Structure formats: C-alpha cells, structure tokens
Amino acid sequence: MANMTMIEAIQSAHDSAMDRDERVVVFGEDVGFFGGVFRCTAGLQEKYGSTRCFDAPISELGIVGAAIGMAAYGLRPCIEIQFADYVYPAYDQIVSEAARLRHRSAGDFTCPLVIRMPVGGGIFGGQTHSQSPEAIFTHVSGLKTVMPSSPYDAKGLLCAAIEDPDPVIFLEPKRLYNGPFDGHHEKPVVPWRNHEAGEVPTDYYVEPLGQARVRRAGNDVTILAYGTMVYVAQAACDETGIDAEVIDLRSLLPLDIDTITESVKKTGRCVIVHEATLTGGYGGELAALVQENCFYHLEVPIQRITGWDTPYPHAQEWDYFPGPARVGRALQKAMES
C-alpha cells in the first residue's frame, strides 16, 4: 500500500497494466515526453519506450480514430483527451465506430479501448475546461462510462477498464486529482490541492465495473452521487445531521440498479446530485429508474440537485454546481414532506 493522490493512482494503474500486458499502449496530447498536462502518465515513456507511450497530434478525432484501429487489431490503447471539453470533434468516431464495432461485425471485431478525460469544474478553468458531458456517453449503446471519486477506485476501475473487451469512457474529476475534496468548503484555498491522498495498493488490482459503493450508511433518505459530488453529499449530511445513505455510483453504465433499489426501498426518499446541467442530465435517467423500481416505496417526489442550465459560468462557477448548502436544503425538504 502507498499513499497516493488520484493522479498518482492513475499513473500507477497505467504502469501496472503496461507491465502486465505488452498490448497496452498509452498516447494523447503531451502524454509521452511531458507526462500529460496533469502528469497522469509521468514516467511511462521513459520506462516503456516511445512506441508504447507517445505524443499525438492536436486532433482528438485522429487520436480516437487511430486508437479504434489499434484496438480492432489486437492492442489495448488507453488514450487521454486533455480535457473532456475537447472530445466533441471525436464524438462521431466514438459513437459510430468504437461503440458499434462489436455489433456491426457480429463479434468478429471488438474495441478494447479506454478514453480517459478530466471532467468538471472548481479549478477556474472557464467554459472550455470545466464541462461534465457524461450524459452524452451514457446515452450511447455499446459504451461503458465510469467516474471514480477516490484514488483507490481510480486505479482499480482503470485497470478493469483496460481489461474490458469493449470501449470505456473513463471520466476523472479534476477537483479530486490532488486528493479527496471534503465537500464542506464552497471554495478551496488552493483549488488544485484538496486535502489528503488515499491508501492505494501498489500491485495490480481491479474494481469491477457496474458496482456502486455505499459511502455512508443511513435510513432516512438515499443520495445518489458520483465524482466530486460524493464528498459534497457527505458534507451536507454532516452539516444537516440527517441520516442519509450516500451511494457512490462509480459506474454510470453499467449501473448497479440493485444497490440503488435496495437503498431507496429502505429509506423511501431519493435525492440525486450531479455537477452537470439539469436538462438532459444523467440524473433524469436515474430518477426514471428509481421511479420504475421503487414507486410504491417512495414517500416524497425524487429531487435532482444539479448545475444550472447555462453555458459554464466562469465568474459564478462556485454557485453553478451544487454545494453542501444546496444539497442540505434538498435533504431538509425531503424530510419535511
């Protein structure tokens, strides 16, 4: 075991996977020589050479397209899109090629591809460095979508994603890169550095995709969250004193509906928290699934606490996404009904 930030855990996952399987290759913009803009691939090129960890041209479409070809012919590429905001030029390749390759070839070809990208705000990155586009991937059949909230999960889930025979979208909350965010502070003093790291095994291990984790047990209300919002939800519970059960989804698709259903049937209440915008956000899908599976157990309407339905507002970003005060008000409303 070692004390690692999420950045270090992701680098360790790359290292462990590359050491274990020579088919694993890592590339993207500034990924090789420099080690990535956030240093998640630091040291890999030096250790494994420039044929297994290398820099790519500034073309997301080209990066993803090349990786799909590599995956189809037996390699296991793990590529980095420098920010999730930059992925849109590659969306056609992801949806029309990567997600459909297994099905359109009747299983003759698969696409064991991982597309990593930093997501979310809280670092004063502005409109083109702060988006949370997870819903546009969970909509696509054939893709798996993952978002860890801790260094331990980041390494284990990334190793599992690299092993997976189908394409995985691996989303990394930037606000958690340098340590778990405790959720209580609306604004960190140093936005790039948030609190302590976590204990992570140095050896190779996997955390299975499609399994949620109960981060906080409770009986009064169920909170569904992922990424940074897990810590915000926990802080809201602490500040309100409400006995809420916080479920860290970890894997958005496949989704662990069994853990969700068990919790909501126990509590009779459900609050959904995510950083992305409300309309068309993943919370809408979660709300529909909870209603379908737990209708007769619900005591109050399901609530969604999300980002605003606006382009990402640089000057008001700490009001834009949910903080413990907004989540706390939702919890109190759920308990008063």
Rounded to whole angstroms, the Cα distance separating 111 from 67 reads 9
Closest CA to 246 of 290, 276, 216: 216
Give residue 23's pLDDT: 98
Closest CA to 317 of 228, 246, 251: 228
Give residue 193's pLDDT: 39
Active site residue 129: yes
Give residue 192's pLDDT: 33
Closest CA to 63 of 41, 87, 97: 87
Give residue 169's pLDDT: 98
Order across the sheet with 221-225: list the strands. 213-216, 244-248, 221-225, 270-277, 303-307
- Other CB atoms within a 10 A radius of the CB of residue 182 amount to 16
| pTM for this model (two decimals) | 0.95
Give residue 188's pLDDT: 45
Give residue 194's pLDDT: 42
Instruction: List, in order of start, the domains of the chain with CATH numbers.
Output: 2-200 (3.40.50.970), 213-336 (3.40.50.920)
Rg of the chain on CA atoms, in Å: 19
The dihedral through the CA atoms of 10, 200, 138, 52 has a sign that is positive
Give residue 176's pLDDT: 93
Give residue 70's pLDDT: 98
Cβ atoms 247, 215 nearer than 8 A: yes
Catalytic pick among 129, 185, 274, 314: 129
- C-alpha distance from residue 84 to each of 91, 167, 169, 250, 271 (Å): 11, 16, 10, 18, 26
Give residue 337's pLDDT: 73
User: What are the per-10-residue average pLDDT scores of the chain (337 residues)?
Assistant: 95 98 98 97 98 98 98 98 97 98 96 98 86 97 97 97 98 87 51 58 98 98 97 95 98 98 98 97 98 98 96 83 94 92
